[in-house]
Structure 1
Amino acid sequence: MFMSESFIPASEFETASNAVNNILGQPVEEIEITDILPPLNDISDSNKVFKGKLSVLFVDMRKSTDLTDELKSKKMVKVYRSFIRIVIQAIRYSGGYTRQFAGDGIMGIFQDSNVDDQIISSSYKATKAARYIHTLIDYCLNPALKKSMDICIGCGIGICTGTIMVTKVGMRGKESDETAENETGIVWVGSTTNYANRYCGLAHPCEIFIDENTYSEIEDSEVWTKTSRTKGSKIFEGYTVSEYYLSLPEEITTEAVKADKENDSETSFIQEIFAETQEKTLLLVDEISKKSAELSVALEKIKQRENQVIARDNDSRKENIRLQQWQSRLNSMQADVDRKEQENKEKEYSLHMSIFSQTFCKDNLIKLYGKDYWLELIQKMYELGAKIGKSKLQVEIDLDCYLVDIYMCFTMYEEAYNILCIQAKYSSWLNLRVFENVVRESGHWIAIKEILEKRVYEKKDYRECLDKLKSMSY
């Protein structure tokens, strides 16, 4: 027997009432998110919420409705699956988690992490994932779509960083029917999620739109442009960058295939102001025309005075030419002095560097000089390097193998490991025996493993060291 459409049984109303009262009557217990996001299955259907600082990334495909109208359904399935597969890979390989799908929209979550006592911010991971997505779409997916279907796609990406609460919502299966499925899901409570979604909607194809919090945590801030955009009556301020790709290996020669830039239906803040003031500007034209006649008379008087000034300027110009000639000679002499001074600084740097090369692998001699001597000399190299425009990292690259040798002689294993990572990343060779000793004595291996895997992927000759590391049971 089917119940009337206008009738709710008392038992069902009571079930709903009990559920609401139970939820409203329980206190909300906050659990700080620590090392990793809780697995979805570990979040209970209760007033317990996980709370923490996260970066939220939203991405969606542009003009997907138009594509669906143009392509047959089966082809569109391939487009959707390819797009979503690429986005998930970019989020996952950048240290994030994919948590929601809505049509062609996808949400990624990122949190801070600590690797070898170095904090990697959620903002860095999220912006890297966004660049990863745009790179794979324009260099991988679009070339394939262009070849097989003669189409290409674009997407906009929005990122926002802030405090978010995570909780489970929904309804478990009916108590009287064990076969009924649980209809529950996870919601991400907070304005951070809403703003990331809004920024995504305002981003143009191949553009990333981030908020102030995200911008404050990234290092490549100089490539971003401060932006104001409107959605309805609300103004959204942030930072944008377009076609900010990640680099690809040299052997990948595919050319980028980009989606056409769509006309944004939303007007910018400046455009709105212009539209409002344009009519007033036209009214001012008549008034300006009346004033122009008066200005013409005044202009004639100004020209007469200008001729007098020109005559005086001719005399001054001759004197200025003479002074410029003297200044040019002084500048040339100063340039010679600066060049000589720079050469002397470079010679001093090279002279001190020769001390390292002459004592390399001579452990007895290194120990004879003593630990304090070498630490002072290393600091001296940083100072000399700064005088010739070298950063601390560049100095360490110049001295990498020497520093590893010195630090190992004085059992400074942490320092030896850090320099070994620099040598692996920037140098063209590693001593297998030294590599094995440093890793074993320091007890560290995660960072060096990631570096070696990348170098091997780039076809650098580090396969032997990587195999050795794997054989050490790390």
Structure 2
Amino acid sequence: MIDIKEIEKIVIQSFNNAKSKLPMLKKAFSALDEQAISDRVPRYTADLLEFGDFLEDNFSVLFIDMRGSTVRAQKIGAEKTFLSMHAFIPAMLEVIKYYDGYVVDLMGDGIMVFFGGKNSSMNKTQAAKNAGLCGLDMLRVLEEVVNKVLDSEKIWRIACGVGVDYGKVVVTKIGIDRIFDVKAYGDCINKAAHFADDAQNEVLVSETINNLWPVGKNGKMKLKLYRNDAYKLERQI
């Protein structure tokens, strides 16, 4: 089970550390936007690939995306956005770590995560389950930890959507000498991102995830049809 108190301690420490650096922030905030993590697709590092090469694998893909982040940043300003991200990102990374996910990309207002793959100890059923549970606990930690910290500082709360799908991913090395990245592409990535964009403080998953989800007697999870191509994942009360 996720240790909410431990995550809260980490988030408060990160937030306060960022707060202590505010006097030095000034014009430096622009350098924090849209920084991708290079060379982090699970087990596929740049030294294994030449430009134009590609490798295929299957993953559960999770996107978490902040709602209205552009308007929010405009309303609260650079300093409070800076502080918000130092509460939000560490909290989400702790949850991802708990569920053995791989952070593939950190965007300005969201995170892309992979679970499973042929080099992982997870089978595809476990990868689907870990991704879905990770999404639910991300939203729980957002509400019980991150927004609690933001409320205490009178900073606008953060709302998010989470999307999850499973499928084939193509991994490639893209760029030029000395300026390159390892990137992943696939329909499941696009679908997970689309679900995350539509979700409002909820986890939307594909029919593939629904079919992979382990079913047990007296299960504590519920998958409810949201629309013809998506299911809403919920904990049973």
Same fold at TM > 0.5: yes
Whether the aligned pair in 2 keeps the contact of 1:84 and 1:104 (CA below 8 Å) is no
Residues 107 and 241 of structure 1: is their aligned pair in 2 closer, same or farther, counting only changes over 3 Å? same
Whether the aligned pair in 1 keeps the contact of 2:59 and 2:114 (CA below 8 Å) is yes
Number of residue pairs aligned between Structure 1 and Structure 2: 191
Residues 52 and 221 of structure 1: is their aligned pair in 2 closer, same or farther, counting only changes over 3 Å? farther
Structure 1 counterpart of 2:181: 185
Give TM-score, length-normalised by structure 1: 0.38
**1:91 equivalenced with 2:101 (yes/no):** no
RMSD, matched Cα: 2.5
Structure 2 counterpart of 1:139: 144
Secondary structure of the 2:184 match is strand
Structure with the greater relative contact order (CA < 8 A, sep ≥ 6): 1 or 2? 2
**Structure 2: which 5+ residue stretches go unaligned?**
1-40
Structure 2 counterpart of 1:61: 66
**1:79 equivalenced with 2:78 (yes/no):** no
**1:166 equivalenced with 2:171 (yes/no):** yes
Residues 187 and 43 of structure 1: is their aligned pair in 2 closer, same or farther, counting only changes over 3 Å? same
1:321-366 Cα distance to aligned partner (Å, 9 max, x none):
xxxxxxxxxxxxxxxxxxxxxxxxxxxxxxxxxxxxxxxxxxxxxx
Q: 1:237 aligns with which of 224, 229, 237?
A: 229
* Distance (Å, rounded) in 2 between the aligned partners of 1:146 and 1:126: 28
* Distance (Å, rounded) in 2 between the aligned partners of 1:67 and 1:225: 31
Structure 1 counterpart of 2:190: 194
Whether the aligned pair in 1 keeps the contact of 2:132 and 2:233 (CA below 8 Å) is no
Whether the aligned pair in 1 keeps the contact of 2:124 and 2:212 (CA below 8 Å) is no
Q: 4+ residue stretches of structure 1 with deviation over 4 A?
A: none
1:151-209 Cα distance to aligned partner (Å, 9 max, x none):
3111000001011111111111xxxxxxxxx22112212211111111111111x2001
Residues 47 and 150 of structure 1: is their aligned pair in 2 closer, same or farther, counting only changes over 3 Å? closer
Report deviation, 1:82.
1.7
Residues 162 and 120 of structure 1: is their aligned pair in 2 closer, same or farther, counting only changes over 3 Å? closer
Report deviation, 1:124.
1.0
**Structure 1: which 5+ residue stretches go unaligned?**
1-35, 173-181, 229-235, 248-474
Secondary structure of the 1:103 match is coil
Whether the aligned pair in 2 keeps the contact of 1:60 and 1:200 (CA below 8 Å) is yes
Q: 1:216 aligns with which of 207, 211, 220?
A: 211
Greater C-alpha Rg: 1
Structure 2 counterpart of 1:108: 113
1:67-92 Cα distance to aligned partner (Å, 9 max, x none):
21221311110102221222222222
- Kindly provide the amino acid, as one letter, of the partner of residue 226 in structure 2: T
Report deviation, 1:43.
3.6
1:7-64 Cα distance to aligned partner (Å, 9 max, x none):
xxxxxxxxxxxxxxxxxxxxxxxxxxxxx93153444233432212101101111122
* Distance (Å, rounded) in 1 between the aligned partners of 2:110 and 2:153: 24
> Would you tell me which structure has more helix in proportion to its own residues?
1
Whether the aligned pair in 1 keeps the contact of 2:163 and 2:196 (CA below 8 Å) is yes
Give TM-score, length-normalised by structure 2: 0.72
* Distance (Å, rounded) in 2 between the aligned partners of 1:39 and 1:82: 30
Secondary structure of the 1:165 match is strand
1:196-226 Cα distance to aligned partner (Å, 9 max, x none):
111111111x200100111112235961211
